[in-house]
């Protein structure tokens, strides 16, 4: 996600703070993947096991849940893993 006033890599401050406290800096696959994910494009991240691919995708989901108010009952995110 592009860096902006919202916080680390475009995430809301609460999400960015959690990420920073838990993981420090993003891995290269995360840093390269977030802009594509944020744009809404279908995104494939090809990288070795343990490089942060799953978190790259799921962190965008968590950020979305914080940003978008719940309007109706039911699922707002369906996350299937492994990717």
Q: How many residues does the chain have?
A: 83
Per-residue exposure over 5-25, b if at least 16 CB sit within 10 Å of its own CB, e if not: ebbbbbbbeebbeebeeeeee
Contacts of 72 (CB under 8 A, 6+ apart): none
* The model's pTM: 0.74
- pLDDT, tens digit, 9 for 90 and up, residues 8-37: 578 999 999 999 999 999 999 999 999 888
């Amino acid at each position: 996600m592009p860096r902006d006033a919202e916080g680390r890599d475009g995430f809301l401050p609460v999400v960015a703070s959690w990420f920073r406290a838990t993981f420090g800096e993003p891995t290269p696959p995360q840093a390269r993947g977030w802009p594509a994910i944020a744009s809404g494009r279908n995104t494939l991240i090809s990288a070795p096991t343990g490089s942060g691919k799953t978190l790259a995708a799921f962190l965008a989901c968590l950020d979305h849940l914080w940003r978008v108010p719940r309007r109706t009952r039911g699922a707002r995110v369906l996350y299937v893993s492994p990717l």
